[in-house]
Structure 1
Amino acid sequence: MPAKLYVVHGSHPCNTVAKALELKGIAFKKVEIPPPGQVLAVRLLFPARTVPAIRFEDGRKVQGSRTILAELDRMVPEPALLPTDGAAAARVLEAERWGDDVLQPAARRLLWVVLGKQRSAAPSFGEGGQIPLPAAMLRATMPTIAWLELKLNRATAADIAADYRDLPGHLDRIDAWIADGTLGADGTPNRADLQIGASLALLMTMQDLRDRIAPRPCGQLADRLFQVGGHIPAGAIAPELLPA
Structure 2
Amino acid sequence: MSPVEARLYTLALSHPARAAQRMLQYKRIRHRLIYLLPGLHPGMLRFAGFRGATIPALELGADKVQGSRSISRALDSFRDQPRLFPEDPEHRASVEEAERWGEEDLQEALRRIFRWTIAHQQPVRRWLGELSGVPAPGLAGALNAPLARSFAKRSGADEARVRDDIGRLPSMLDRVDRLIESGVIGSDAPNAADFQIGSSVRVLMTFPQLRPLAEGRPAGEMALRLFRRYAEPIPAALPLASAN
Closer, same or farther in 2 for the Cα pair 1:134/1:41, shift >3 Å? Answer: same
- Give me the identity figure in percent: 35
The amino acid that maps onto 1:149 is F
Deviates more, 1:26-35 or 1:108-117: 108-117
Q: Is the 8 A contact 1:92 1:182 kept in 2?
A: yes
Deviates more, 1:143-152 or 1:212-221: 143-152
1:33-48 paired onto structure 2 within 5 Å: 33-44=36-47, 45-48=49-52
Cα deviation for residue 85 of structure 1 reads: 2.4
Cα deviation for residue 238 of structure 1 reads: 3.5
- The residue number in structure 2 matching 1:77 is 80
- The residue number in structure 2 matching 1:23 is 26
1:165-204 paired onto structure 2 within 5 Å: 165-187=167-189, 189-204=190-205
The amino acid that maps onto 2:59 is R
Residue ranges of structure 2 left out of the alignment (5+ in a row): none
Q: Is the 8 A contact 1:126 1:230 kept in 2?
A: no
* Distance in 2 separating the partners of 1:34 and 1:162: 29
After superposition, the CA RMSD in angstroms is: 2.2
3-state SS of 1:20 partner: helix
Using structure 2 for the length normalisation, give the TM-score. Answer: 0.88
Closer, same or farther in 2 for the Cα pair 1:51/1:238, shift >3 Å? Answer: closer
1:68 aligns with 2:71: yes
- The residue number in structure 2 matching 1:225 is 226
* Distance in 2 separating the partners of 1:60 and 1:166: 37
Closer, same or farther in 2 for the Cα pair 1:196/1:138, shift >3 Å? Answer: farther
1:88 aligns with 2:91: yes
- The residue number in structure 2 matching 1:100 is 103
3-state SS of 1:55 partner: strand
Q: Is the 8 A contact 2:115 2:148 kept in 1?
A: yes
* Distance in 2 separating the partners of 1:7 and 1:84: 30
The alignment of Structure 1 onto Structure 2 pairs a total of residues equal to 239
Deviates more, 1:96-105 or 1:31-40: 31-40
Q: Is the 8 A contact 1:82 1:191 kept in 2?
A: yes
- The residue number in structure 1 matching 2:60 is 56
1:9 aligns with 2:21: no
Using structure 1 for the length normalisation, give the TM-score. Answer: 0.88
